[in-house]
Structure 1
Amino acid sequence: MKLGEPTLDQLRIFLAVEEEGSFGAAAKRMGRAISAISYGISQMEAQLGVTLFEREGSRRPVLTDAGRGLLSEAQAITDRADALLAKTRSLHAGLESDLALVVDVMVPGDVIARVLRDFRTMFPTVGLRLQIEGLGAVAACLMEKESQLAIGGPVIADHPDFERQAIGTVDLLPVAAPGHALDRPDVKPGQSREHLQLVLTDRSRLTQGREFSVLSPLAWRLGDLSAKHALLKEGIGWGNMPRPLVAEDIAAGRLVVLDLPEKPGANYTFSALWRRDDKPGPSASWMIDAFRDALA
């Protein structure tokens, strides 16, 4: 038996009858005559070679086993069609079809999560591609057009190819495990150079060879902030960390803030950045405002 292909309209009729519980209610919902609803179901049954509803002996059409088996597939097809139409309407309205975002590793994770949760609610048709990078690698994503929007730190905020908008700051604190040699009130200038410092390294070429807040020649360079965090808690070296990431460890006594004469901690300023030849669209502009509010 050669099967036909039901139309999208027939699938919608099928779902309307099942959801409303009668041909009359489905007709009212869809603004059709009852005869049109009945005809649509009959045509779909003929094309698929199955009976979708038991009609005899009951005022209410009841799904057959075949009807129940096809219900979820029909729903999935109409859902995808609705998503396609919604995205098309968004494109006509100037909304991006997708947004490629790169975020500095120093941005607190809970801030990222809250912004992206609200983004999904505000822009359900916009696809999102997210990267988390550090230092110059954030700018590299923009330069190489892997991302359209960046939330980056001061290392790359002054790049001539970018437009930028300052949106907030995070405190960087010099920390170590309790009992570290620098965990004392009378540290002398230069003593920090005698101890292993853990440093977040740049994986891009844009800032290759540049050092940021590196005091000690005894340094381990790490490409992952979570690895640096774990080593600090194990008592391996000292280093600067964003306050939100270590606040619980400080409160619990797993890490201590070091009082160093050089005061290597600082405010790490975040900026929204985009290429001058790629102006932010509606969802990217919303994202900029959302990160600014979340970081305030």
Structure 2
Amino acid sequence: MPDMEPFEVRELRYFVAVAEELSFSRAAERLGMAQPPLSRAIRQMERRLGADLFRRDSHRVYLTELGVSLLDHAREAVDAVQAVSRRASRAAQTTPSLVATAKPGIATEILRHVVREFESLAGAPRVEIVVSGFREQTTMVRDGRADVAVLGSPFERKGIEVEVLAIHPRVVALPADHPLTERRRLTCADLQGEPMPIWAKSSPSDIAYSSGRDRGSAIAADEGPVAGPTVSDPAQLLEVVSLGQAIALIPAWLAERNPRPDIVYAPVLDASPYSTVIAWPEGARAQHVARFVRTATELYVPREVHA
């Protein structure tokens, strides 16, 4: 049987858009094109495969088993091509630049410190700092929008390499009138059965970490936490706790920066720590990226910071 003609990157972009939106009209809007040519392109892909990527009815579009299996590979291919284009464009500039990203908080503070030190080195390129949102950093490194990122636990390791810069213990944030505030020693098992906030876009492993059911806990990860409200930033999380809607495991540094009369912070003896890391693309060989990483690791010798 002859090999099938390879998909074009354009076709994979179309497929990913429809797979993520589960709507041809929304995907077409996202791609900035009309719906009919998008539908034709997907049908052409299916004809070449000899199988359907999507099931369609009058109410919805959903992925077939083949479509599900193709999606991750298609994303990786699209990200890889975008990454090559973006990094080549930056390297071709008259004055080469490096893009570094982090979310607000301790990560941006560390990043600013590293950038100041890096830019003081002879021949170092200009660094553009991009403040990114929750869970955006690893995607930006993989698809080339950023060359390096400072991020914290938990994070997806796929497609990136990391070096640890700092390790912080985690504490539990409790409403001031919660019965657990009377306990002098707490473990993850003591938190079982309590509602905990769910971070937006969390994977099962993220939820296990956030609830103390990861490898650092004696509680089995598959037991599952009691789901509290969904949150998207630390300020929202602390408000949820203060209102008595949930308790939360948080980095000790976040507790230290947010003393409040309506929240009590308590150590949790067996909670796995919060790590802050520097991340860069897997297999990257660019000298300025390696130099930036080396600057970061020389400034921040990884050690556990006790609460």
> Please, what TM-score do these two structures have when normalized by structure 2?
0.50
Partner Cα distance (2:132, 2:145) in 1: 12
The one-letter code sitting in structure 1 at the alignment partner of 2:266 is L
SS of match in other structure, 1:141: helix
Cross-structure match for 1:146: 145
Query: Please, which runs of 5 or more residues in structure 1 have no aligned partner?
Result: 1-90
Whether contact under 8 Å (1:104, 1:152) holds in the other structure is yes
Cross-structure match for 2:99: 100
Whether contact under 8 Å (1:174, 1:265) holds in the other structure is no
SS of match in other structure, 1:183: helix
Partner Cα distance (2:119, 2:239) in 1: 32
1:265 aligns with 2:271: yes
Deviation at 1:295, TM superposition (A): 6.6
Query: Please, which runs of 5 or more residues in structure 2 have no aligned partner?
Result: 1-90, 213-224, 303-307
Note the alpha carbon deviations across 1:221-245, whole angstroms, 9 max, x for none: 2122232134334544211222222
Cross-structure match for 1:225: 234
Deviation at 1:284, TM superposition (A): 6.0
Partner Cα distance (2:288, 2:94) in 1: 6
Note the alpha carbon deviations across 1:200-224, whole angstroms, 9 max, x for none: 3336xxx477522326313222122
Partner Cα distance (2:295, 2:187) in 1: 43
Partner Cα distance (1:277, 1:188) in 2: 39
Note the alpha carbon deviations across 1:101-148, whole angstroms, 9 max, x for none: 23256745543443344455558861404133445x332222222211
Cross-structure match for 2:130: 130
The one-letter code sitting in structure 1 at the alignment partner of 2:230 is R
1:244 aligns with 2:253: yes
The within-5 A match list for 1:156-167 is 156=155, 158-159=157-158, 161-167=159-165
Partner Cα distance (2:160, 2:120) in 1: 29
Deviation at 1:247, TM superposition (A): 0.8
Q: Residues 227 and 238 of structure 1: is their aligned pair in 2 closer, same or farther, counting only changes over 3 Å?
A: same
> Please, what TM-score do these two structures have when normalized by structure 1?
0.52
Partner Cα distance (2:250, 2:287) in 1: 33
Cross-structure match for 1:185: 183
Identity value in percent: 10
The number of equivalent residue pairs is 197
Q: Residues 282 and 142 of structure 1: is their aligned pair in 2 closer, same or farther, counting only changes over 3 Å?
A: closer
